[in-house]
Structure 1
Amino acid sequence: MSLIQQIKQIYIPVKELNRAVQFYRDTLEIPFLFQAGELAFFNCGGVRLMLSPPENGDFAKASPILYLSVASIDHAYSQFQTRGVTFIDEPHLVAKMDKTETWMSFFRDSEDNVLALLAEKPI
């Protein structure tokens, strides 16, 4: 049995906390939990996202890519474009399984971190 049970929290380094909070809360509409000083927390389907300016150079490197699950990638892509989200690419097929297709589209947040929309469509 694995000692690791699940991902509970993900840290995302930001340059300007207030701008980042506005992007994740208002543009992406991820539920905002609370802010404590230079830390802001969101609930993304039970996984906490923690936004904060880096404490030091070790934490200033690029963040991991968050793959955000959406029901309809075309709808989410369209809605986020109208909100000013800068996409790197259009929704595209990444993999075909027996009964599903995985579609993705990559974009940048207000702090220049790369994120992705991910949808699994039944075939």
Structure 2
Amino acid sequence: MKTNLIQKVGQIGIPVKNLEKAVHFYKEQLGLPLLFQTGNMAFFECNGLRLMLSLPEKEQFAHASSVIYFQVDNIQTAFEELTNRDVTFIDEPHLVAKMGQMETWMTFFKDTEENTHALVSEVQGEAAC
């Protein structure tokens, strides 16, 4: 029997072209705590998960990142607050799955580097409205 060697995701790297602009977005608009910035990298805390923004070392790494799904308690409140902070959403909060009484709601947004990320909220049915 194989044991689980991987316990959790500890860090996600996001390639950026303009580090200062990206740092401003993640710190001021999304409201994530900046842990530290050094050289061509900046590190943010996201409830035990570290986000690393970095200028790609090689051209092969200079592409949009994977979608990061940021968990929120109330997706409508988060959507409205981030919209007020000039975050560019590409859709409205919407229901994507219903399993029993649990509903999963999402909305997608772009960062300053055109990476697409999402807010996700899992709530008891009828609570998301």
Rg larger in structure: 2
| 2:21 corresponding residue in structure 1 | 19
- Map 1:22-101; keep pairs closer than 5 Å: 22-101=24-103
| 2:106 corresponding residue in structure 1 | 104
RMSD: 0.8
- Whether the aligned pair in 1 keeps the contact of 2:64 and 2:113 (CA below 8 Å) is no
* Distance (whole Å) between structure 2 residues aligned to residue 114 and residue 57 of structure 1: 20
Number of residue pairs matched?
Answer: 123
| SS of corresponding position for 2:66 | coil
Which of 4, 7, 12 aligns to 2:6? It is 4
The amino acid that maps onto 1:114 is T
Greater than 4 Å deviation, 4+ residue runs: none
* Distance (whole Å) between structure 2 residues aligned to residue 62 and residue 16 of structure 1: 13
TM-score by length of 2: 0.92
TM-score by length of 1: 0.97
| 2:122 corresponding residue in structure 1 | 120
* Distance (whole Å) between structure 2 residues aligned to residue 58 and residue 8 of structure 1: 23
Query: Residue 5 of structure 1: CA displacement?
Result: 1.1
Cα displacement string for residues 45-86 of structure 1 (whole angstroms, at most 9, x for unaligned residues): 101000011111221122010000011100111111111111
The amino acid that maps onto 1:8 is G
The amino acid that maps onto 1:89 is D
